[in-house]
Structure 1
Amino acid sequence: MNGLWYYAIAFAIIWAIALIFKSKLTNHGLEVNFPLLMWKTKRLRGFIDRLANLSPKFWRWFMNIGIFISFGAMIVMTYLLLSSLSTIFETPSVSLVIPGVEIPGSPIYIPFVYGIIGLATVLIVHEFSHGILSRVEKINIKSIGLLLFAVLPGAFVEPDEDDMNKAKKTSRMRVYAAGSIANISLFVVAFLITMSISSFVIPETFHEDGIQIERVLEGTPSYNILQPGMIIESLNGQNITDGDTYSNAISTLKPNEIINVTTDRGDYSFKAGQNPNNNSLGYMGVQAVKNYEINDNIDNTYGNTLPWVWFSILELFNWIAFLNLAIGLFNLLPMKPLDGGHLLEELLDYKLPENIVKPIVTLISSFMIFIIAISLVAGFAGGLF
């Protein structure tokens, strides 16, 4: 069954329970107003206060730097999005990613468990950072909670609107920047962990031995021909010994040519398809990883099972790093309701009157949303056809 069906069934069950037991759930902080489902609590406000009071001066200075980083990232992300317009129908710049689901046209597949954990870290550090900076700036928090907009999950920290409006512009900018800066900071930590594991632990524990097929995408040329777990030994006559030789081999593939693959389980042939992200390249529909073997000294000491846990840890932190960076940077695009749109509005409001700022931000937001929507549709359509 396609992964999307599991999500659809889960959301259907959630909404059915929420609507049937609406009156009872309301007493437990749940608000049901289709298509919005919100659960609010005040229990974590004390915890956020304690974090904010650890060092208010540090949080302010850290987020002062964060404001400059946020605007720098906003400029870079806007430039990349605009420069992608010329190739938007060939290589879409924005892809929808859902853990455990293959999205047509998306080059990224996120494993379900790692993806859910990674997204949880994104939401937790993002919203808690908004809350911490709100309290540092003496802005009260009305509630904290989770939400479901139709089928889109999320989390929120709800600051007091009157306190936000009364706060200084720099205070509001610190609050808006806090979420993405926290995501980027967690990316740095997770990235350093992955680099440490891949640079020191993996080479000491394993040695590289060819390329292994991790996944075969449904409906692609190699589907039902190649199988996960096979080790690719040669591709169109080129010996495959490591990641570099594999990358060189697949870069020479052309659409509709016959691909000859030798694996540890036999020889296979099939016709190459067209790469959904580059029409001039051939496509097998295979996701492959380096094949590793445990070093003899490690095998003798720890056995043949325990050392493989390192790869699970490595992949987990890889996805934590990727999702925090990708979502943190995306959130800094100059469009409302994203934090980047609020930051832009506050910046423009320093010099321009409100009756000019609002239309400018609305226009920029609409333009950005249009580009993102076109990129998503182009990628999805390209993946289907």
Structure 2
Amino acid sequence: MDNLIWVELFVGFIIWWTAVTILNKAGVLKRYNITAYGPLIMWRTYRGQKFLDMLASPAKFWKALITICMPLVIISMVLMLLMVLLTSVIMIFSTPVPSQVNAPQNILAIPGVNEFIPFIWGWLALIVGMVVHEFGHAIMAKAEKIKVKSLGLLLIPVPLGAFAEIDEEEMFGTKSESGTAEILGPMDTKAEGTGNRKASSMALIRILSAGVISNILIAIIAFALLFGPVLGAIAATNTEMVVLNVAPGSAADVAGIHKNTIIKSVDGTEVTTPDQLNSYLKSKQGSTVTVEGMSGDKLISYTMNVGDTRGIYILGVIPGLPAEKAGISSNDRLLSINGTAINSYADYNEYMKNTVPGQVLTLGMIDGQGNPVERTITLSSGVEPKGYMGFTGTDLSDNPLGIMVGTFNAQNHIEMLRGLPAPTGDSLGQKAMSMITGFFIIWIMPVWEVTGGMTGFNVFQSDLASLYYPVGWAEPLGGGILYIALALFWIGWLNINLAIFNCLPMIPLDGGHLFREMARKGLSYIIRDTARVDQISKTVVNIFSVVLISSLVFVMVAPYIVHGL
């Protein structure tokens, strides 16, 4: 599937490049203020100057705001630098196997390509982030009396970014002389007071910082609204029985039951716990049962036959681990281990407690076609110091229909979300640490949700959304309050990630230009020779750029170099 996605992307890219080339040669793009650089196009608009002037009119306010927020940029730059370098070092000594988490497409924050970022909410948030970022640069440039030539977008074919075309000679003292420099900005700049540079050192630093700070401020506003009035206006029902996993091709799967289906009753009898449901179904071997519940906001009823109820049902296996290597697959049933009967997941767990990595076991099983088989498996090591077969927490079930059922407490979930960034504890240190932990969880939440580690905001667009309802001021909005919550989460999340990524001290990012100017300013107090200061600052930022770009590429390709595709 991953290979197919890359083939589709490659074909789409070739079609795009061909179309751009044809339209550019025909002069069509030029008529619409579009410039092409290979497959990349730059669309400009010269409108909106009066609007920018109006926004920038309280110049003293903008200068003071950006100056006050400058430490956020410096802290973000240092943290991102350390994180990238530390990740590279970890990759060298402990390279992870290729996985969903470190797949190249999931390192790029492109909605629809990145599996962790939803298409609609991701693009909404990304567009907001790009517009806010570039308007931050443009407004600050106007406030510093630096000319803004145009605003525009970079596309290839998805938007790579928005841009404010600030007069480079007034800002940096140099002018782009090539297509690459026009896109990335000047690789070399003049010192304050030299060439045609009009911007003072502090003015340039504020202009470069304005985009990042704008993203941070929008993220703070989005999260303040989300974790305040919005989540405060969402209530939830009590605990419900929810399908956590379904074996492909199982009786439940064929009938139409899927993940997040809510189960209310079986054969007209209410069921409230997984044990109650599983016990009832095991007593119905060979019989037909009807399962009732909800899928989203719709009532559902599925009738199916209960097959063999012996042992435990295998819903899936982790590729490449011992269970798959031993020939075990979905819809198999595990009856015994080394002659010891396994009648429930509790029996399996108890037996595995006394195993060790490398131990060879003989498994008595029934395969998906109902045939009795034996499998020999050599255990690997897992998180715990016992043997590991290669199943996730939802791959083994006592349910004979081929599903894993658990309880989902929507009330606890909404309370958990509300409390994520809230300070808890007695001392100031404890409160600060709880807030840092909360925001770290928010930061990794998209990855954690997709990989099954937690339930976050995506539940609001799943079949479990029917468990939530608006209260108070949000009642007239109905289910729309959930969409507002999703929009605010992704706007906040993507803006903060755009901000900290742009802080990396490497050209052509804002952090690279900012680091170069700060290095130049700092060195000027020590070295009086302007030319030497320029050369040293240029060399330092170039070294940082090469190291960081190499580190980012290494992080993406290392798992595949070490472990293969």
TM-score tier, shorter chain, comes to 0.7 to 0.9
Aligned equivalent of 2:129:
122
Distance of 2:151 and 2:515 partners within structure 1: 25
Aligned equivalent of 1:174:
206
Is 1:80 the counterpart of 2:251? The answer is no
Distance of 2:468 and 2:198 partners within structure 1: 63
Q: Name the amino acid aligned to 1:155.
A: A
Aligned equivalent of 1:272:
none
Residues 206 and 292 in structure 1, CA contact (< 8 A), matched pair in contact too: no
Aligned equivalent of 1:230:
261
1:268-347 to structure 2, matched below 5 A, reads 268=403, 286=452, 289=455, 291=464, 293-294=466-467, 307-347=478-518
Residues 506 and 541 in structure 2, CA contact (< 8 A), matched pair in contact too: yes
Name the larger-Rg structure.
2
Q: Closer, same or farther in 2 for the Cα pair 1:342/1:206, shift >3 Å?
A: farther
Q: Name the amino acid aligned to 2:83.
A: L
Is 1:34 the counterpart of 2:168? The answer is no
Distance of 2:83 and 2:544 partners within structure 1: 15
1:142 is paired with a residue whose SS is strand
Is 1:362 the counterpart of 2:515? The answer is no
Q: Closer, same or farther in 2 for the Cα pair 1:47/1:347, shift >3 Å?
A: same
TM superposition shift of 1:374: 1.1
Q: Closer, same or farther in 2 for the Cα pair 1:191/1:295, shift >3 Å?
A: closer
TM superposition shift of 1:319: 1.0
Q: Structure 2 unaligned segments of length 5 or more: list them.
A: 172-196, 264-273, 276-314, 316-343, 347-382, 405-449, 524-532
Q: Name the amino acid aligned to 1:44.
A: G
Q: Closer, same or farther in 2 for the Cα pair 1:224/1:344, shift >3 Å?
A: farther
1:81-100 to structure 2, matched below 5 A, reads 81-88=84-91, 89-90=95-96, 95-100=107-112
Residues 115 and 319 in structure 1, CA contact (< 8 A), matched pair in contact too: yes
Distance of 1:61 and 1:297 partners within structure 2: 40
Aligned equivalent of 2:402:
267
Residues 146 and 170 in structure 2, CA contact (< 8 A), matched pair in contact too: yes
Aligned equivalent of 2:29:
25
Alpha-carbon displacement from aligned partner over 1:204-225 (angstroms, at most 9, x marks no partner): x544535565x99xxxxx6677
Distance of 1:76 and 1:141 partners within structure 2: 31
Alpha-carbon displacement from aligned partner over 1:166-214 (angstroms, at most 9, x marks no partner): 21000000000011111111111111122125641223x544535565x
Aligned equivalent of 2:140:
133
Q: Closer, same or farther in 2 for the Cα pair 1:28/1:177, shift >3 Å?
A: same
TM superposition shift of 1:47: 1.5
Distance of 1:293 and 1:127 partners within structure 2: 39
Identity percentage of aligned residues: 29
Aligned equivalent of 1:374:
554
Aligned equivalent of 2:219:
187
Distance of 1:112 and 1:180 partners within structure 2: 24
TM superposition shift of 1:38: 1.0
How many residue pairs get aligned? The number is: 342
Q: Closer, same or farther in 2 for the Cα pair 1:379/1:113, shift >3 Å?
A: farther
Q: Name the amino acid aligned to 2:112.
A: G
Q: Structure 1 unaligned segments of length 5 or more: list them.
A: 104-108, 217-221, 239-250, 270-283
Residues 17 and 39 in structure 2, CA contact (< 8 A), matched pair in contact too: no
Distance of 1:74 and 1:359 partners within structure 2: 18
Residues 126 and 178 in structure 1, CA contact (< 8 A), matched pair in contact too: yes
Is 1:154 the counterpart of 2:156? The answer is no
The answer to which structure has the higher helix fraction is: 1
Distance of 1:207 and 1:58 partners within structure 2: 49
TM superposition shift of 1:237: 5.2
Distance of 1:76 and 1:65 partners within structure 2: 19
Distance of 2:478 and 2:398 partners within structure 1: 29
Distance of 1:133 and 1:297 partners within structure 2: 40
Alpha-carbon displacement from aligned partner over 1:276-321 (angstroms, at most 9, x marks no partner): xxxxxxxx965874646557997xx979xx7333222212211111
Which stretch shows the higher mean deviation, 38-47 or 81-90? 81-90
TM value normalised by structure 2? 0.53
TM superposition shift of 1:135: 0.4
Q: Closer, same or farther in 2 for the Cα pair 1:166/1:378, shift >3 Å?
A: same
Is 1:47 the counterpart of 2:51? The answer is yes
Residues 348 and 357 in structure 1, CA contact (< 8 A), matched pair in contact too: yes
2:86 is paired with a residue whose SS is helix
Alpha-carbon displacement from aligned partner over 1:133-169 (angstroms, at most 9, x marks no partner): 0000000011211112576622111111121122100
Q: Name the amino acid aligned to 2:218.
A: L
Distance of 2:504 and 2:249 partners within structure 1: 41
1:350 is paired with a residue whose SS is helix
Aligned equivalent of 1:209:
240
TM superposition shift of 1:81: 2.2
Distance of 1:126 and 1:348 partners within structure 2: 23
Distance of 1:381 and 1:261 partners within structure 2: 37
Aligned equivalent of 1:57:
60
Q: Closer, same or farther in 2 for the Cα pair 1:316/1:208, shift >3 Å?
A: farther
2:107 is paired with a residue whose SS is coil
TM value normalised by structure 1? 0.75
What root-mean-square deviation, in Å, do the aligned CA atoms of Structure 1 and Structure 2 show? 3.8
2:160 is paired with a residue whose SS is strand
